[in-house]
Amino acid sequence: MEWPGRCSRCKEVIADWSDAGLHEKRWIHKACFSEVWLEARNKGVELPELRDPTVRSSQLEGPMLLFLLMFHFGLGIAAIGWIMISQFDDPDGNPILAVGLITPLIGVIGVALNVISRRRIELIRQALDLQGGWKPGR
């Protein structure tokens, strides 16, 4: 998730979240969305409605699950590799142990980035609540 948030059409930083929304999994200014909507309407295409920018937090649930699974299964793989090396003197345990140590590290980094992204969306939600909430046509 890019930060600070940028409009997917004009690439400008979104300064006021009440003037932005979520379109096709990307942030966009309401004015830019109006242009996109007019272009689509002229082509005869129906666009979905502009959504609240805080809906983006639901897109972070899948990656969070993936990173948590990487962490947990990576620890299990590391334990298997360690047992193979220490109990059976099997040299095939070395690559298994390496994978088992790297995978949880990737999982921890991914979870940390996901938590940071969720916190940023929460800051956007708080900023919108201070302004009276988000309205699609504002």
* pLDDT mean values, one per 10 residues, the chain (138 residues): 81 91 91 94 92 91 97 97 95 96 98 95 92 80
Residue 135 falls within a domain, yes or no?
Answer: no
Is the Cβ–Cβ distance between 5 and 14 less than 8 Å?
Answer: yes
Residue 137 falls within a domain, yes or no?
Answer: no
Residue 110 falls within a domain, yes or no?
Answer: yes
Residue 6 falls within a domain, yes or no?
Answer: no
The SS3 call for residue 137 is coil
Residue 78 falls within a domain, yes or no?
Answer: yes
Residue 122 falls within a domain, yes or no?
Answer: yes
The angle formed by the CA atoms of residues 125, 18 and 39, to the nearest 5 degrees, is 125
Instruction: Answer yes or no: pTM beyond 0.85.
Output: no
Range of the domain at 114: 17-130
Residue 87 falls within a domain, yes or no?
Answer: yes
Residue 59 falls within a domain, yes or no?
Answer: yes
Number of domains the chain contains: 1
What pLDDT score was predicted for residue 82? 96
